[in-house]
Amino acid sequence: MLDHRHEDLVAAAVVPAVTVVLEGRSICHRISLHKHGSYQSFAKALRRMFGEGGDHDVDDKDLDLSNAVPGHLIAYEDMENDLLLAGDLNWK
């Protein structure tokens, strides 16, 4: 158990939590990317955060960033302030 806590602390220092904002809402959420091992896991977390209404019948195996939050694209802003689609790069 102690090893996992140590790994979480090290990972949190290397990969800080990110702020997730759903366009059109004034509330945002923080998510720790190091707690997710894949885009599918991240998509599942986004669905739990923002998935009100819409198609919740998507099987976990079919869930990905393209359908995590129905009607929205998952993008991020890089260090140069460019807006990029999430999922274009390898998860690691």
CB 34: neighbour CB atoms within 10 A?
16
pTM of this prediction?
A: 0.73
pLDDT in tens, the chain (92 residues): 455 565 655 555 567 788 898 888 888 899 988 888 899 999 999 998 887 655 555 667 788 898 898 888 999 888 899 999 998 888 87
| Cα–Cα distance measured from residue 26 to residue 46, given in angstroms and rounded to the nearest whole number | 16
